[in-house]
Amino acid sequence: MKVLNIISSGYRATLEEQDDTVVWLTHAIKGAGAEVDVLLRGPAANYVVEGQEAAPLTFGARTQRHAPDVYGQVSSLAEKGVNIFVVEEELRERGLASAPRLRAAQLVPKAQVASLLSKYERVWHW
């Protein structure tokens, strides 16, 4: 079964888990042998932009020093053979169209998203 994970809610649970939960799930199901690809849209489109860093965050006496590395997690998916698609207009709307990004990321115009979806047996939108 060929699956496309659409991730549109960026940085979901990354403070608690240091991973985007859907990116983590995609790693897990790919590791189990699933044929899965990812489409990033909305706030998650910037997952492919290089140079993201998060400074330590302190609440009272507790400091969270291990910030999520979502770019690295998405890059690792690409290295495992997962196609990474990004809605082109989403990057432009966020001023990131010319920002350095993951080489494996494939830009998809909004007008071609429906055509992309038709290539998959299952589409999971998170």
pLDDT digits (tens, 9 = 90+) for 88-106: 999 999 999 999 999 999 9
Q: Could you give the 3-state DSSP secondary structure of residue 85?
A: strand
Structural contact between residues 86 and 40, judged by C-beta atoms closer than 8 angstroms: yes
Residue 43 in tokens: 């706030």
Q: What percentage of the chain reaches a pLDDT higher than 90? A: 74
Q: What residues are paired with 125 via a beta bridge?
A: 6
Q: Which long-range contacts (CB under 8 A, 24 or more apart) does 110-118 make?
A: 113/39, 113/87, 116/4, 116/39, 116/85, 117/4
pLDDT digits (tens, 9 = 90+) for 47-84: 999 988 777 778 899 887 777 788 999 999 999 999 99
What mean pLDDT comes out for the span 19-27? 89
What was the pLDDT predicted at 91?
Answer: 96
Query: Which domains, from first to last, does the chain contain?
Result: 2-53+68-125 (3.40.1260.10)
What was the pLDDT predicted at 76?
Answer: 97
